[in-house]
Amino acid sequence: MIVHPIDYRYGTEEMKVIWSEESKIKRMIKVEIALLKALAKRGYIDEDKVKEAEDRALKVTPERVKEIEREIKHDVMALVKAISEVLDEEVARWVHFGATSNDITDTAVATQLRDSVEIIEQKLKRLIGLMCDKALTYKDVVCLGRTHGQPALPTTYGFRFAVWASELARHYVRLQQLKDRLLVGKMSGAVGTQAGFGKEGLEIEEEVMKILGLKPALISTQVIPRDHYCEYVEFLANLSTTLEKIATNFRILQRGEVGEVMEDFGERQVGSSTMPHKRNPIDCENICGIARVIRGFVEPMHQSAILWEERDLTNSSAERIILVEATVLTDHILTKMIRIVERLRLNLERVRENLESLGGMNLSEAVMLALTKKGLGRQEAHEIVREVAMRAYERDTSLLEELLKDERILSYLTEEELREILKPENYLGTVEERIKKVLEWVRDVLGDR
């Protein structure tokens, strides 16, 4: 019976395959085989026999491992027994030699994390590229900026996309830095001393990790220190926060009274079971909801890092859930955001309409600063323009109309000057330069120069 929505609703197949039970068991088998190969290099076993053993071991099924586990109540030992029973006795006696359970599980998890990070990295790079493309496409689309949900100075849609591109690119940088610390395995025995391998412990561990394409942990107890996993889950939480932030802004900009942005809506898509007209931003809402679940894993992951002495088992059950769900769900919302941005549509007429609907009110700062440049004190100019703006609100007139009625202002600025000041495209500061700086930096970060 399928219970979890990841099994039937959320997540991409490419990511779910990595974290499937079958994948986990195959990866654990590969760790055991890598250990046999390392032992063979030191004369414990004939190397040709290990090659033959590898083919046999990889045919061990999850069903057989679970069957043994039901009897002995230990998952890794069940795997060891399942491998051993398909091998020649001469090779079987060396399976799991000198190792402890977490040598196998932690190292197998490292390979899952490596393959997962590669997918996330490529998708993140794709999303950053899309954001940069949008920043270029819409660099001249002037729109109404908002602070506190209220009209503010003009900005451009290109500037908005550049802000999001820069934030995502910082996550890309974090991921590059994180990989070096995260993608480590171990072969260090029951308490980390490698006693079972004697003086050859470091060389055996190095060889195992080389075979698997990992780095050995600098030091470990029976488990790899969980700060590695904490940092990874924090990264996923941080990335999910940015994705939710972007999705939230898309949702706000899709509101009927704003109507500037629209996520793709299929020809036969249904928005409501009772209101046929609805075009709900369901993909953005989906991202927002799942991002909150991802961030919820930060605290239990940190709790799982607090282990007694060389280890206890309180982390195991939590991590089986945390690492799988946090990774699969992050990949899910990252994939969904790529699709949203690829198909996002801007209603340029509505953008301009909303910008001009305020009658210049959102350019009060520009008037204030122009008065200051003409010789009026900045604070006095602020008060005069504030009074004029409040009158415009009360009388439901435009700011320009009220400015032209105020002799204090007309003694400094002409009607022609005021009209120029109140053009949104004339008050964009360094928008173009800042977009250019972001795009250059992002290209450098992604190695696209």
Please tell me the distance from the alpha carbon of residue 417 to that of residue 432, in angstroms, as a whole number: 24
Strand pairing of 150-156 and 184-185? unpaired
Q: How far is residue 216's CA from residue 104's CA, in Å, rounded to a whole number?
A: 13
Please state, as a whole number, how many other Cβ atoms lie within 10 Å of the Cβ of residue 310. 13
Find out whether 266 and 279 touch, Cβ atoms under 8 Å: no
**Is 148 in the active site?**
yes
Question: Which is catalytic among the residues 20, 171, 240, 272?
Answer: 272
Q: Is 443 exposed, middle or buried (0-12, 13-18, 19+ CB in 10 A)?
A: middle
DSSP-assigned beta bridge partners for residue 155? 143
Written in H, E and C, the secondary structure of the chain is CCCCHHHHCCCCHHHHHHCCHHHHHHHHHHHHHHHHHHHHHCCCCCHHHHHHHHHHHCCCCHHHHHHHHHHHCCHHHHHHHHHHCCCCHHHHCCCCCCCCHHHHHHHHHHHHHHHHHHHHHHHHHHHHHHHHHHHHHCCCCEEEEEECCEEEEEEEHHHHHHHHHHHHHHHHHHHHHHHHHHCEECCCCCCCCCHHHHHHHHHHHHHHHHHHCCEECCCCCCCCCCHHHHHHHHHHHHHHHHHHHHHHHHHHHHCCCCCCEECCCCCCCCCCCCCCCCCCCHHHHHHHHHHHHHHCCHHHHHHHCCCCCCCCCHHHHHHHHHHHHHHHHHHHHHHHHHHHHHHCEECHHHHHHHHHCCCCHHHHHHHHHHHHHCCCCHHHHHHHHHHHHHHHHHHCCCHHHHHCCCHHHHCCCCHHHHHHHCCHHHCCCCHHHHHHHHHHHHHHHHCCC
Catalytic residue among 23, 96, 101, 148: 148
d(CA 210, CA 187): 12
**Whole-number Å distance between alpha carbons of 189 and 296:** 33
* Active site (catalytic) residues: 148, 272
